Chains A and B, each alone.
Chain A
Amino acid sequence: MVQTRTLVHRGHPGRRSHKFPRRGERLLFGLIGFVVVLPLWEIVVQAGLIKRVTLSSPSLIATAAVNDLFIKGTLWPHLFASSQYFVLGLGLALLTGVPLGLSLGLFRRLNFFLDPWLSAIYATPTIALVPLIVLVLGLGLESKIFIVWLEAIFVVVVSTMAGVRAAEARYLDLAKSFRASRWLMFQSVIVPSSFPFILTALRLGTTRALVGVVVAEFFSANKGIGFFINFSGTTLRTDRVMLGVIILGLLGVAMGEGVRRIERRYEKWRPDIN
């Protein structure tokens, strides 16, 4: 006994447990990146080592942000247009993708039938389809929504389908032993089992839809964040390009966090969260 005890102490000489990292550590090291990189970037540009027009600089981007967001407010119509494409495209992807994923998980033959098509959609870069989509749907709202939908639907379908497969045999057996109808089994076992996967679908779909928005706006728009970035690039306004990119990044992070909050709220019955 005594020996074991000394061994334990010798093995961990005053070392902190892995489970409890210092609280501030994450924030501290996270900030270092910004504190070092941003001034360095500014200095390099100010000193003329790199041209303003190629890389812009933090101060220029900040000025553009203040101008476009507050003083002139030129960015808002673009943001509004983008969110419209995003919400409609992703909403449609969920409305169609979740039922489709559930059906594909439930019906094997439907799965065999649709699988090659889904794989083809996934393998084809959406950009390659843009000319065709524009040709068929025109340059209006429809083509943008379709591009966003196309970009997001695959992950929604696949993730939801995995959820159906994840329904545990013991719950299905239980429902069977009580002679539950197929419909009741579906709503009491299969849907709740796949719910965490549907939330994952939402999270992955969000990221993909954002990509879809940019793709749609790059090639066939006269408004939207993607258009703003593209147009600013062609007019050599690198500060605005950077501003657009940063806004997209922030939106992506914010929405990811939003979905994670929803996940936490709806998973009351799960003992461990995260």
Chain B
Amino acid sequence: MDTGLALQARDVRMEYVDQATGERLLAVDRVDLDIVEGQFVSIVGPSGCGKSTFLKIVNGLFPASEGTIEIRPAAQGVAHAMVFQDSSLFPWYTIVDNIAYGLVCQGVPRKEARARAKPLIDLVSLTGFEKKFPYQLSGGMQQRANLARALTVDPEILLMDEPFAALDAQTRELMQAELLRIWSEASKTVLFITHQIDEAIYLSDRVLVMSARPGRILADITIDLPRPRRLEIKRSPEFIEYADRIWGLISTQLRPESPVAAAS
């Protein structure tokens, strides 16, 4: 693996057998991906294109049928941690116990894990909510806790699977800005999955466009917008140009029966 890379994927294929029909389906096909350390990389693509599947392969939740994924071994902490789409905070744990959970999984005693979770709670602005239960928090706050939980284990690379998809539009915008702030403070490599083009452009250094199933990388677009980025940047001509270009690529991938694709 090349130096300076946080992640290197080569020729990743994922094939699975549909339990209902017995059909063999190809979810991900020949994906190559290099992520430089500290980069924020997003993958966008139509629903069901295999982008989440790819992320789960990176996370080790299931094995790839072929190919290799190398993640730079962490100097400290772990190689990777995942932020799921639904917050998946345990409803039976308080916020602090949820955030400390990753550490507990590594065998850190609960008390120490709580203490080590504290700075992350501050980082995601949840100070004062430690003793609350998840249902007492708004969707946005739950996702902050979700993010903090992934950060406590100090991952080399942070994997995010459409973390803001379930939030309302305004909260989502605010959380995007918040994520950039946290990202710049925590200085992590991020692999971010989304189906929202503007979200991908706003957050990322690079946006990868994935084809409809089987998922392949159609384009690798470097987003050359200055940082720090304010939300207003989404209305700049450069931003809109990127959005048009990516939408152009994705719309070729939508199935003809989709009314949006037919209209465009």
Q: Is the interface of B mostly helix, strand, loop or mixed?
A: loop
- In the complex, A269→B94 CA distance in Å? 8
* A residues 93-139 in Cβ contact with B at 8 Å: none
Partner of B86, one of A170, A175, A179: A170
| Chain A neighbourhood of B104, CB < 8 A | 184, 188
| Chain B neighbourhood of A180, CB < 8 A | 105
Q: Tally A residues with Cβ within 8 Å of B.
A: 20
Interface positions of A (Cβ within 8 A of B):
170-171, 173-181, 184, 188-189, 192, 195, 268-271
Contact B59 A177 (CB under 8 A): yes
Contact A174 B84 (CB under 8 A): yes
Instruction: Report 21 cross-chain contacts, Cβ distance below 8 Å, ordered by A residue.
Output: A171-B88, A171-B90, A173-B61, A173-B88, A174-B82, A175-B105, A176-B61, A177-B60, A177-B61, A177-B81, A177-B84, A178-B81, A178-B102, A180-B105, A184-B104, A188-B90, A192-B92, A269-B91, A269-B133, A270-B91, A271-B135
- In the complex, A171→B86 CA distance in Å? 10
- In the complex, A174→B153 CA distance in Å? 13
How many A-B Cβ pairs are below 8 Å?
Answer: 50
Contact A269 B134 (CB under 8 A): yes
- In the complex, A177→B104 CA distance in Å? 13
Is B101's CB within 8 Å of the partner chain A? Answer: yes
| Chain B neighbourhood of A171, CB < 8 A | 88, 90
Q: Tally B residues with Cβ within 8 Å of A.
A: 22
- In the complex, A217→B58 CA distance in Å? 63
Min CB distance B135 to A, Å, is 4
Min CB distance A200 to B, Å, is 16
| Chain B neighbourhood of A192, CB < 8 A | 90, 92
| Chain B neighbourhood of A268, CB < 8 A | 133
- In the complex, A189→B91 CA distance in Å? 10
* B residues 61-106 in Cβ contact with A at 8 Å: 61, 78, 81-82, 84, 86, 88, 90-93, 101-102, 104-106
- In the complex, A121→B61 CA distance in Å? 40
Contact A170 B88 (CB under 8 A): yes
Contact B105 A269 (CB under 8 A): no
| Chain B neighbourhood of A176, CB < 8 A | 61
Contact B91 A178 (CB under 8 A): no
Contact B59 A178 (CB under 8 A): no
- In the complex, A188→B84 CA distance in Å? 18
Partner of B105, one of A170, A184, A271: A184
Q: With contacts A173-B61, A269-B134 known, is A178 near B90, CB below 8 A?
A: no
Q: With contacts A178-B101, A178-B153 known, is A270 near B135, CB below 8 A?
A: yes
* B residues 112-139 in Cβ contact with A at 8 Å: 133-135
Closest 3 pairs (CB-CB, A-B): A178-B105, A192-B92, A271-B135
Contact B92 A174 (CB under 8 A): no
